[in-house]
Every structure is written in C-alpha cells, then in structure tokens.
Chains A and B, each alone.
Chain A
C-alpha cells in the first residue's frame, strides 16, 4: 500500500523535481489526487523537491487546507461565527462530539464524518447552523443535531 502511494506521489511531483519554491503547488497536486497527504507522501515530496522533511511537515500542518488523514464520507461544517456562537454553537459542538466521538478538525473512527469549524455560512437567521455536505441545517439544538447525524449516517456514503 505504502509503496504504491510512494510511487504514485513520485510520479505526481515529477514536474516539481528540485523546485523548492513549488512546495505548496506540489502538495496541492498530491492532495487533489490522494485526497490527503500522508506522512509517506510528505517524505516523497521532500526528497523530490530537495526540501527538508521538517519544512514539508511545517507547511502541511500550518495550512488548514492540507489534511494528513483521509476525509470522512460526509463533511460536517459547523458555523462558529458570532450569531451561531451567541445562539449556542458550543452546545451543538458538544453534541457532535458526543455523537461522533471527535471534535473540530477530526474524522470519526468509522470514517463516516469529518467535522470542520467554519466562520459564517451566511444563514445567521437560522443560527446555530451547520452544513452536512451540501445540505444546510438551521435552528439546531443538541437533540436535533444527533438525530440529523444519525439519519445521514444511516443512508451511508
């Protein structure tokens, strides 16, 4: 598995060989193909571009856009903006944590959900709001959140 990934990544970053300033471009390319950038892939990128491994990890961990673990089948985007904060986004987050066992920036153990925090979905009138994939859910409370997650999870990927 790892060997396959390494060969694939090596192929992907070939155009960037030796180009240290293209690190972010190379990482984008890897992530768009693999969906994430595992450690083994980071090592290949470092080697190919001639960048120290510590710098590759530094860049990958600095930018929220890059992920080191595969995303879940569904993405939950919980709004942490001002209106949602005031209307109890914290309680909703706690409910999500209870239901999925993970908090912001993590993926549930069954690989079903990735939870992300976002700033304002532009639906403050429905606060607190979250999106599950492309669907918006408003006026959330802990009970409703758990019900929604269970329903989405039941439908599968």
Chain B
C-alpha cells in the first residue's frame, strides 16, 4: 500500500492506482471528461489537473498519474478551479455547444461540468466552424459540431469492441472523428453497429436516432461493466 495526501486527507492506494482512483476511493471529487472507467487513460482534456505540492506545485492529470508514496496532492483550490473553468470555456468556444438546440441537453457531461464549475459565460470569442453532421448510419448519428475530441468513442471502439472504426483525422482544431477512410458512418465496413461509442460519448456529438432529447440518456458505465466482466489475459 502507498500512502499519500489529497487535499490534506491521508489516503491509501494500491501501487497500480492513479491519483484519480485514490481520490475517488476517498470520496474526493475531481472533475473528469475524457476519462472513462474501462478505457485507457489519455489525459487529453486536462480537466482533472491536480497540483502536487511537493513537486513544486506541478500540475498533472489525475487520471493518468500513478500514485506515489508521500505525494501531497491538491485536488481542489482556487487556482485549479480557474484552470478547469478556462479549459471548459475553451472547449465551449471551439465548436457549437449551444445546449438549447442539442439532443443531449440535460444529459451532457460537458453541460454538467459547466454547471458544477460555475462556468456562467465564455470569455473567448466563439469560433463556430461550420462542421458536417453525418446521419448515414441507420441507428446513430454524429454531429461534429458537438464533438470535444475527447476520444472516448475512439477508445471504446478499439479497446472494447475491437472494431477500430473510429479514428482521429486531421490535426489540431481541424481534427474530426472519422470512420474508416473518412467514409460516411453508414458505409463504414468495420463498424459493427454496437453503439458503444454512442454510450461513451459525453456530449451530443454521438446520438441515437429516433430518440427525443429527453430520452437521449447515455450509459457510459456499460464500458466499465463490459470490461470488468471480460476475462483479461494478465500481461
């Protein structure tokens, strides 16, 4: 067992756990967005940034940083709240995240985080690039305007379903989640239509057809449920 401190509370953790795991076990809330239990951590969204006091206040993503003996972690502070809020604002400014017109309104992790972190307005100019919506799949649709590029769908597709249909195409702010060779989703040969990507998506970017906004509730927990039930070869 490893002993560390999170927000001045002594916490014990297993060596293979992350700071986020340890915080969760201790009932300390750290906001996350790109992290999804059952998928590998990527540390992409930076919302779970925590400060390590005995590393000169260095900021590390809690979801991707293993616990270490004697760590003195700050999980919640004014500095971190401001940083997390700024990250959220940048996400909101990058594409179209107007909740009132979104299928995920009321069931959106991005929206929930904005409420939790008190992000009542955005200080950056909105970019609003005109991005396509692909409704070619019989069961699902993808609206790139709502996508925050967290990659949860990409990881669910490759790590859990094993289809590897989704990938990141392009780079930087021009990145789009695309199926196979950039084909319409409905034409993607590798897609099994399992819908794990839709369940994993934190926003309204991936949605189920034939469901009204009020019914568009995602079940991201199925990803962890599936991986836990699956016998895994010990590497």
Contact = CB atoms under 8 A, between A and B. Distances in A.
Interface of A: 39, 42-43, 46, 52-58, 61-62
A57 B178 contact: yes
A53 B180 contact: yes
Contacts of A62: 168-171
B169 A55 contact: no
Contact of A52 (B164, B168, B171, B182): B164
Nearest to B154: A54
Contacts of B189: 53
A54 B171 contact: no
A56 B169 CA distance: 9
A55 B178 CA distance: 10
B169 A61 contact: yes
A42 B168 CA distance: 15
B169 A53 contact: no
B167 A55 contact: yes
Chain B contact-residue range equals 10 to 19
Interface in B152-174: 158, 164-171
B153 to A, nearest CB: 11
Contacts, number: 45
25 contacts: A39-B181, A42-B181, A46-B181, A52-B158, A52-B167, A52-B180, A52-B190, A53-B181, A53-B189, A53-B190, A54-B165, A54-B166, A54-B167, A54-B181, A56-B181, A57-B167, A57-B169, A57-B178, A58-B167, A58-B169, A61-B170, A61-B182, A62-B168, A62-B170, A62-B171
B181 A43 contact: yes
A94 to B, nearest CB: 19
Contacts of B88: none
Contacts of B181: 39, 42-43, 46, 53-54, 56-57
Contact of B178 (A43, A46, A54): A54
B104 interface: no
Q: Which of A43, A53, A55 has the most CB of B within 10 A?
A: A53
Given A58-B167, A62-B168, 14 more contacts: A43-B181, A52-B190, A53-B180, A53-B190, A54-B179, A54-B181, A55-B164, A55-B167, A58-B168, A58-B169, A61-B169, A61-B171, A62-B169, A62-B170
